[in-house]
A and B are shown apart, each in its own frame.
Chain A
Amino acid sequence: MGSIAQLVAVAVLLPLVAGLICYFVRSSAVRTFSVVVTAIALIVVSLLLLRNGPFEYSPPPMAGMEWGTIILVADMALLVLFLALGIYLKNVLVTVFAVAQGAIMGYVEFGMGIRTEVQPAFFVDELSIIMALVISIVGSLICVYALEYMKDHEHHLHLETSRQPRFFFYMVLFLGAMNALVFSNNLLWVYFFWEVTTLCSFMLIRHDLTEVSMVNATRALWMNSLGGVAFAAGIMFMLQQAHTLSLKELISGQTPGVAIILPLSLLVFAGFTKAAQMPFQSWLLGAMVAPTPVSALLHSSTMVKAGVYLIVRLAPAYVDTHLSTIVAVAGAFTFLLTATLAISQSNAKRVLAYSTISNLGLIIACAGINTSLAISAAIMLIIFHAISKALLFLCTGTIEHLIGSRDIEDMEGVVAKFPITGVITVIGVITMLLPPFAVLISKWAAIEASVNMPPIALIFIVGSAATTLFWVKWVGKLLTAPPTAVPIKAEKIAALYVAPLAILAALAVVLSILVAPVVDLVGKLAVAPYYKAAGIAAAGGDVSTGIGIATIWPLFLVLAVVIVPVYLFVRVRSEDVRPAYMCGENAAGVSTMEFRSVGDKPEMVNNSNYYFDKALGEASLNGWANPAAIALLVALVGVVVWR
């Protein structure tokens, strides 16, 4: 047991220590060293936890105080901080929500007369281990990438005193908070770490201290605080109705779901706000003003996953209830609408943000469908989406530094101008969109899981077509190249930029090829204990859902046959190159992309994507989509009257 204690301590406390070092020691070499060491330590610890398997652990009291008490005190301090922030920002909502949370927590701890302590303190099953792996591996790589990125970022902004100490304090602290969140068994502890992530998100979104970043950070704060109020209220009702706050007991099936429907709805509501589901998507979109590592870490692969983690974690508790159906509908609705909204966006980070929300909606919908196959699909999506989306955010950040823009239209020809970054970005998009890569296999599993709820299946199918549209437009733009036989030269780019990108890309590809062990981990170990069936299984190298089989290795073989011979054998000679067809009006030269326009003036061809702004833009859709989403959330919480 001693080694478990050490692993948990490293996973949870080392980031806190490293964060404090980053904050107080201003030397950039020490900061780099702390971050890299923490990254390596977290990755190693999470892998050791995987090898160890599930466990339960309660840390002994520290300095005479129970950890429960420490966390209670810290929680109250945090709520006071939020109150102070609300007053400082002159934001009514933040202030009111902080007061509400403080009042509810006070009542829970002191006014209810039911004990809130829970044994064990940490309940770590396969789902927690999977989340810890995602947080530690993907999160650490993003923090390493951020070292180089923030140097460039501050160079562009011409900052006199570096604000990196504060930045890395919150980034690294966040990793520890997330690990603790997924390990915790007591809902009060989950709530505390949940609010810590809200704080980190607020601090990181407003990092650049511009007007727009303050506005967006405030919006993120009040929306997440609303989720916090729901969480606190959920804890209160849960304690009242179930007399326990132990996740382990709640999902074991001892208390029937219908008896605790109200607290479960409130907790799911909190998950919805954290995952920026409709109508709360505006905080995540606004958060895109933050530096790219923030978007990658918090707002795509990790913090928002805390929201879906809670919903998936609680799924065995609300299985076979009306709540589950509403969760499925609300998740599917967000999946479809945000995928559609992404089509009209040309800002790459907004596209990624909408895509993130869309995938989170898909995960939530799977949790709502609440069968073993659906939950397996949800967990697989959590894993693979985190990897690919983090990769894409980091690529977008790199491209932004290379070309000075985040607009897709400006990214034309990136593969030719900056081949390393460009090809990795293309790989990133392909791993999100196409078979045999694991994100699509997870989506396929989700569709097959939804067959017993045909309306949900219909939404999944239509939404999947919408996602194709916006991804293909982006990756096509990257690939445009001038007609020339001159070989493409690799760009000069810092190793600390490329290494995280290459590792994430390799991870996405390799885990897609070796998806069978992941499937077994998810199906047999994570899901089967709660659903009496694995749902998803590996059949050789293939993935089987029971009603269908996805062949994996043959497809990778075909992909290799497509890529390798062309790369090895096809040589384009300069005399073979012709310009594009422009009705014969090509201006002089073979590599020209200009044509002779009015008055024989050469003009560059200007190709742009269709964005369907009038039909599918935010202005057209938000008008009815947000109210519809609000109605769904009202139904979510109001389902208690229906049972």
Chain B
Amino acid sequence: MNDLLIVLATIVLGPLVGGFLFGIDRRLTARLQGRYGPPIVQPFYDFIKLWSKSRIVVSQSQSLYVLGYLLFTITALCMFVLGQDLLITIFVLAFGGFSLIMGAYAVKSPYANFGAQREILQMVAYEPILMLAALAIYMQTHSFMVKDVFKLNHPLLISLPLIFVALLIVLTIKMRKSPFDISASAHAHQEIVRGVYTEYSGPYMALIELTHWYELLLVLGIIGIFWATNPIVGVVLALAAFVLEIVVDNIEARMTWPWMIKFVWTTGISLSVVNIGLLWLVR
């Protein structure tokens, strides 16, 4: 019963938090660029406007893929919030990403095709980092369940600093920020038109926006548990990472996908391996 309440709270309140975070993102980006920027509630206006557009499709099955993306991302977030197995959560999130890619493949569109290829490459780039983070967390808590992180008596950031840095790279990719906004860029940017999202419109685009909000919460949550001993500090940590991403986005230029794979794998995996190696030696 408790679990059900937590899930309901996540599903209902999650978009509110996520939407505001995205609004802060655009406002902060604008301020960094010397502009005013839209109001913080702008994502909600965008969502309602998109929802009210007429429904046009390019493929008969588009709604299937959008729904898959949305529901599996929500499921991954709920599993995380309920403290479930982190590896399975990552795989369920991957199912959501898979669904989005299938939607881009389901239409014979050059831009969506490029977007799909690059989106797969992005997934291939960050998935090992996420799973290595789960492995490192296991080495600390001797469990893959997220709820066991809260039983640890020291914050994960102290013992897994390099993993944390690698996860920041993952956050950049997930938020679709430069230099890794390769398959589709964050709001108000274009890359290969809209990349994976090119052929979605109206209500389906609204659902995709909604899914982003949930996804952001999940990745920020994974970052937040690196200070699980004090939840307030954990939230601050997650928000600090969020602001860092926005700053990085405004400083960095967009790079190519070969560079992304090389950078994410060499840097991300090296950092993770070094951290895990050190943990193994001192165990």
**A residues engaging B (CB < 8 A)?**
412-413, 433-435, 440, 444, 447-448, 451, 454, 457-458, 461-462, 464-466, 468-469, 472-473, 475-477, 479-485, 488, 547-551, 554-555, 558, 561-563, 565-566, 570, 572, 576-582, 593, 605, 607, 609-610
B102 interface neighbour in A464, A479, A565, Cβ under 8 Å: A479
**New A-B pairs, 18, CB < 8 Å, besides A413-B108, A458-B273, A570-B64:** A434-B94, A435-B88, A447-B131, A454-B276, A458-B269, A465-B127, A475-B102, A476-B116, A483-B57, A488-B60, A551-B79, A554-B75, A566-B67, A572-B57, A572-B60, A577-B57, A578-B56, A580-B58
Distance (Å) between the CB of B2 and the closest chain A CB? Answer: 16
* Complex contacts, B121 vs chain A, CB 8 Å: 469, 610
Please, how many angstroms separate the alpha-carbon atoms of A570 and B142 in the complex? 46
Contact B128 A465 (CB under 8 A): yes
Q: Is the pair A434, B95 in contact by a Cβ cutoff of 8 Å? A: yes
Which chain B residues lie closer than 8 Å to A488 at the CB level?
60
Q: Does B242 contact A (CB under 8 A)?
A: no
Question: Is B25 engaged at the interface, CB distance under 8 Å to the other chain?
Answer: no
Residues of A within 8 Å of B193, CB to CB, are 581
Contact of B110 among A479, A548, A550, A607 (CB under 8 A): A607
Q: Are B102 and A577 in contact (CB under 8 A)?
A: no
With contacts A465-B128, A566-B64 taken as known, whether A472 is within 8 angstroms of B273 at the C-beta atoms is no
* The 8 A-B residue pairs with the shortest CB-CB distance in the complex, in nearest-first order: A476-B105, A580-B109, A548-B144, A607-B113, A548-B85, A461-B131, A435-B91, A566-B64
B101 partner residues in chain A, CB cutoff 8 A: 472, 476
Interface residues contributed by chain B, number (CB under 8 Å): 64
List, sorted by A's number, 27 A–B pairs whose CB atoms are closer than 8 Å.
A434-B91, A435-B92, A454-B276, A454-B277, A458-B273, A461-B127, A464-B127, A465-B123, A465-B124, A468-B123, A476-B105, A480-B106, A481-B59, A547-B142, A548-B86, A549-B88, A551-B84, A558-B75, A562-B99, A572-B57, A576-B54, A577-B57, A579-B58, A580-B199, A581-B198, A582-B110, A605-B110
In the complex the two chains form, what is the Cα distance from A444 to B57 in whole Å? Answer: 36
* A483 interface neighbour in B87, B107, B111, B273, Cβ under 8 Å: B107
Give Cα A479–Cα B95 distance, bound, in whole angstroms.
16
Residues of A within 8 A of B84 (CB): 549, 551
* B91 close to A563 (CB less than 8 A): no
Question: In the complex the two chains form, what is the Cα distance from A477 to B108 in whole Å?
Answer: 10
Q: B residues engaging A (CB < 8 A)? A: 54-61, 63-64, 67-68, 71-72, 75, 79, 84-88, 91-92, 94-95, 98-99, 101-102, 104-113, 116-117, 120-121, 123-124, 127-128, 131-132, 135, 138-139, 142-145, 193, 198-199, 269, 273, 276-277, 280
Alpha-carbon distance A447/B132, docked complex (angstroms): 11
**Could you tell me if B105 and A477 are in contact, using CB atoms closer than 8 angstroms?**
yes
Find out whether the CB atom of B120 lies under 8 angstroms from the CB atom of A468. yes
Return B250 CB to nearest CB of chain A, in Å: 28
Taking the closest CB of chain B, its distance from the CB of A577, in whole angstroms, is 6
Closest Cβ of chain B: how far from A103's Cβ, in Å? 48
A607 to B117, CA, bound (A): 10
> For A461, what are the chain B residues with a Cβ–Cβ distance below 8 Å?
127-128, 131-132, 135
Is A562 within 8 A of B67, CB to CB?
Answer: yes
Contact of B87 among A447, A472, A572, A580 (CB under 8 A): A447
Contacting residue for A551 out of B59, B88, B142, CB 8 A: B88
- List the B side residues contacting A562 at CB < 8 Å: 64, 67-68, 71-72, 99
Partner of B145, one of A549, A554, A565, A580: A549
Chain A residue numbers with a CB within 8 Å of B71 are 558, 561-562
Name the distance in Å between B135's Cβ and chain A's nearest Cβ. 6
Cβ–Cβ < 8 Å partners of B57 in chain A: 483, 572, 576-578
Expressed in whole angstroms, the Cα–Cα distance for A413 and B113 within the complex equals: 14
Query: In the complex, what distance in Å separates the CA atom of A451 from the CA atom of B279?
Result: 13
* Given A551-B79, A581-B193, A582-B110, A469 contacting B124 (CB threshold 8 A): yes
Q: Which of B55, B60, B71, B92 has the most CB of A within 10 A?
A: B60
Whole-angstrom CA separation of A473 from B68 in the bound complex: 18
Contact of B120 among A473, A484, A582 (CB under 8 A): A473
CB neighbours (8 Å) of B59 from chain A are: 481, 483
Kindly state the separation between the CA atoms of A581 and B61 in the bound complex, as whole angstroms: 17
Q: Beyond A434-B94, A461-B131, A465-B124, is A578–B58 a contact (Cβ under 8 Å)?
A: yes
User: A607 touching B108 by the CB < 8 A rule?
Assistant: yes
